[in-house]
Amino acid sequence: MQFKQLRVLVCILIMEYLSASSDGDDHFIFTNGFSGANLSLDGAATITPNGLLRLTRVEKQQKGHAIFPNRLQFRRSPGGNIFSFSTTFVFAIIPEYYNLGGHGIVFFISPTMNFSTAIPSQFFGILNSNTNGDPSNHILAIELDTIQNSELYDIDDDHVGIDINSVQSNTSKHAAYFDNLTSEFHNLSLLSGELMQVWVDYDGGEMTLNVTISPVQVMKPKRPLLSLVVNLSSILLDSMYVGFSSSTGTVVASHYLLGWSFKMNGMADALNISTLPSIPKLAIKEKSKYLTIWLPVVVCVALLTGLSVAIFMVKRRIQFAELIEDWELQYGPQRFSYKALFKATKGFKDKELLGIGGFGRVYKGVLAKSNTEIAVKKMSHESRQGIREFIAEIASLGRLRHRNLVQLLGYCRRRGELFLVYDYMPNGSLDKFLHSQGKPALNWPQRLHIIKGVASGLEYLHEDWEQVVIHRDIKANNVLLDSELNGRLGDFGLARLYDHDTDPQTTHIVGTMGYLAPEFARTGRATTMTDVFAFGVFILEVVCGRRPIEPKSQADHQILLVDWVVENWQRGTIVDTRDPRMEEYKDDDLELVLELGLLCSHPLSASRPTMRQVVQYLNGDAPLPQLSSTIANFNLQSFQQNKGFDEYVLSYPISSATPGRSGDDQSEVLLNNTVDLDV
Ligand SMILES: *[C@@H]1O[C@H](CO)[C@@H](O)[C@H](O)[C@H]1NC(C)=O
Ligand SMILES: *[C@@H]1O[C@H](CO)[C@@H](O)[C@H](O)[C@H]1NC(C)=O
Ligand SMILES: *[C@@H]1O[C@H](CO)[C@@H](O)[C@H](O)[C@H]1NC(C)=O
Ligand SMILES: *[C@@H]1O[C@H](CO)[C@@H](O)[C@H](O)[C@H]1NC(C)=O
Ligand SMILES: *[C@@H]1O[C@H](CO)[C@@H](O)[C@H](O)[C@H]1NC(C)=O
Ligand SMILES: *[C@@H]1O[C@H](CO)[C@@H](O)[C@H](O)[C@H]1NC(C)=O
Ligand SMILES: *[C@@H]1O[C@H](CO)[C@@H](O)[C@H](O)[C@H]1NC(C)=O
Ligand SMILES: *[C@@H]1O[C@H](CO)[C@@H](O)[C@H](O)[C@H]1NC(C)=O
Q: What is the pLDDT of residues 293-302, one digit of tens each?
A: 444 444 545 5
More confident residue, 288 or 208: 208
HSE-up of 517 (CA within 13 Å, CB side)?
Answer: 30
**pLDDT grade, residue 408 (50/70/90)?**
confident
CA 220 to ligand 6 centroid distance, Å = 6
* Segment 370-392 mean pLDDT: 72
Q: Is the CB of 156 under 6 A from ligand 4?
A: yes
- How do strand 360-366 and strand 353-357 relate by DSSP bridges? antiparallel
CA 574 to ligand 4 centroid distance, Å = 49
pLDDT of residue 252: 87
Spatial neighbors of 507 by CB under 8 A, at least 6 apart, are 496, 524, 526, 676
Q: Whose CA is nearest to atom 14 of ligand 4?
A: 187
Q: What is the pLDDT of residues 322-351, one digit of tens each?
A: 666 655 655 555 678 888 899 999 888 888
Q: Is residue 260 part of a domain?
A: yes
Cα dihedral 587, 588, 589, 590, rounded to 10, equals: 40
Do 555 and 620 fall into the same domain?
yes
- Protein residues whose CB sits closer than 6 Å to any atom of ligand 5: 201, 203, 208, 210, 223-224, 227
Do 307 and 360 fall into the same domain?
yes
| Lowest mean pLDDT segment, chosen from 112-116, 584-588, 612-616 | 584-588
Do 257 and 401 fall into the same domain?
no
- How do strand 417-423 and strand 373-380 relate by DSSP bridges? antiparallel
Q: Is the dihedral of CA 360, 364, 367, 372 positive or negative?
A: positive
Contact 124/246 with Cβ under 8 angstroms? yes
Domain end position, chosen among 394, 423, 452: 423
**pLDDT grade, residue 435 (50/70/90)?**
confident
SS in 3 state form for 137-200?
A: HCCEEEEEECCCCHHHCCCCCCEEEEEECCCCCCEEEECEEEECCCCEEEECCHHHCCCEEEEE
Give per-residue burial for 187-205: e unless 16+ CB within 10 Å, then b. Answer: ebbbbbbbbbbbbbbbebe
CA distance linking residue 140 with residue 131, whole number of Å: 14
Nearest C-alpha neighbor of 370 from the set 187, 220, 165:
187
Do 608 and 564 fall into the same domain?
yes
CA 242 to ligand 2 centroid distance, Å = 18
More confident residue, 334 or 79: 79
CA 95 to ligand 4 centroid distance, Å = 21
Domain end position, chosen among 407, 423, 439: 423
State yes or no: pLDDT of 463 exceeds 50. yes
**pLDDT grade, residue 263 (50/70/90)?**
very high
Do 419 and 434 fall into the same domain?
no
Cα 664 to Cα 84, 353, 434, 475, distances in angstroms: 58, 13, 11, 14
Query: What does the mean pLDDT of the chain come to?
Result: 79
Q: Is residue 288 part of a domain?
A: no
So which residues are the catalytic ones? 473
Query: Which residues are registered as beta bridge partners of 211?
Result: 200, 226
**pLDDT grade, residue 258 (50/70/90)?**
very high
Which atom in ligand 8 lies closest to the alpha carbon of residue 270? 13
Do 263 and 305 fall into the same domain?
no
Q: Is residue 99 part of a domain?
A: yes
Nearest C-alpha neighbor of 406 from the set 491, 323, 467, 339:
491
Q: Is the CB of 116 under 6 A from ligand 2?
A: yes
**128 in helix, strand or coil?**
coil
Q: Which amino acid is at 244?
A: F
Do 135 and 164 fall into the same domain?
yes
> Is the link from the previous residue into 103 a cis peptide, with omega within 30 of 0?
yes
CA distance linking residue 44 with residue 26, whole number of Å: 28
Show the DSSP H helices in 336-443 as ranges.
338-344, 387-397, 430-435
Domain end position, chosen among 398, 423, 448: 423
Q: Is residue 668 part of a domain?
A: no
Q: Whose CA is nearest to atom 8 of ligand 1?
A: 38
Q: What is the pLDDT of residues 35-51, one digit of tens each?
A: 989 999 999 999 999 89
pLDDT of residue 661: 31
Q: What is the pLDDT of residues 498-542, one digit of tens each?
A: 333 334 443 444 566 778 888 877 777 888 999 999 999 999 999
Q: What are the helix and strand counts (H, E) for the chain? A: 15, 28
State yes or no: pLDDT of 458 exceeds 50. yes
Q: Is residue 671 part of a domain?
A: no
Q: Is residue 441 part of a domain?
A: yes
* Segment 286-311 mean pLDDT: 53
| Lowest mean pLDDT segment, chosen from 4-8, 191-195, 290-294 | 290-294
Say which DSSP state 654 is in.
-
Q: Is residue 111 part of a domain?
A: yes
- Protein residues whose CB sits closer than 6 Å to any atom of ligand 1: 38, 69-70
State yes or no: pLDDT of 550 exceeds 70. yes
Do 436 and 311 fall into the same domain?
no
As a whole-number percent, the residues of the chain with pLDDT over 90 amount to 43
> Which contiguous run of DSSP H or E holds residue 496?
strand 496-498
As a whole-number percent, the residues of the chain with pLDDT over 70 amount to 73
Q: Whose CA is nearest to atom 9 of ligand 4?
A: 187
Selection from 211-225, 471-485, 494-508 with the highest mean pLDDT? 211-225
Which atom in ligand 6 lies closest to the alpha carbon of residue 181? 14
pLDDT of residue 422: 87
Which atom in ligand 7 lies closest to the alpha carbon of residue 231? 1
State yes or no: pLDDT of 564 exceeds 80. yes
Q: Is 441 left (phi over 0), alpha (psi -120 to 50) or beta?
A: beta
DSSP secondary structure, 597-632, as one string: HHHHT-SSGGGSPPHHHHHHHHTTSSPPPPSHHHHT
HSE-up of 269 (CA within 13 Å, CB side)?
Answer: 16
CA 162 to ligand 2 centroid distance, Å = 27
| Lowest mean pLDDT segment, chosen from 125-134, 377-386, 459-468 | 377-386
pLDDT of residue 9: 43
- How do strand 184-187 and strand 373-380 relate by DSSP bridges? unpaired
pLDDT of residue 290: 45
State yes or no: pLDDT of 544 exceeds 50. yes
| Lowest mean pLDDT segment, chosen from 95-104, 281-290, 390-399, 552-561 | 281-290
CA distance linking residue 671 with residue 663, whole number of Å: 10
State yes or no: pLDDT of 470 exceeds 50. yes
CATH value at residue 529: 1.10.510.10
pLDDT of residue 305: 64
Q: Is the CB of 229 under 6 A from ligand 7?
A: no
pLDDT of residue 634: 55
CATH value at residue 323: 3.30.200.20
**66 in helix, strand or coil?**
strand
CA distance linking residue 633 with residue 602, whole number of Å: 9
**pLDDT grade, residue 354 (50/70/90)?**
confident
More confident residue, 320 or 2: 320
Q: Is the CB of 272 under 6 A from ligand 8?
A: yes
Do 259 and 352 fall into the same domain?
no
Do 472 and 353 fall into the same domain?
no
Q: Domain limits at 566?
A: 430-499+510-658
More confident residue, 256 or 339: 256
CA distance linking residue 620 with residue 616, whole number of Å: 6
CATH value at residue 40: 2.60.120.200
Do 114 and 145 fall into the same domain?
yes
Number of domains in the chain: 3
Do 313 and 258 fall into the same domain?
no
State yes or no: pLDDT of 660 exceeds 60. no
| 3-state percent helix, strand, coil for the chain, nearest multiple of 5 | 30, 25, 45
Best substitution site from 234, 235, 237, 238 to test ligand 7's pocket, by max atoms within 8 Å of Cβ?
Answer: 234
What radius of gyration, in Å, describes the C-alpha atoms of the chain? 30
Query: Which residues are registered as beta bridge partners of 46?
Result: 54
Q: Is 250 exposed, middle or buried (0-12, 13-18, 19+ CB in 10 A)?
A: exposed
- How do strand 468-470 and strand 496-498 relate by DSSP bridges? antiparallel
Q: What is the pLDDT of residues 100-156, one digit of tens each?
A: 788 999 999 999 999 999 999 899 999 998 999 999 999 999 999 999 888 889 999
pLDDT of residue 667: 37
Q: Return binding residues for ATP.
A: 378
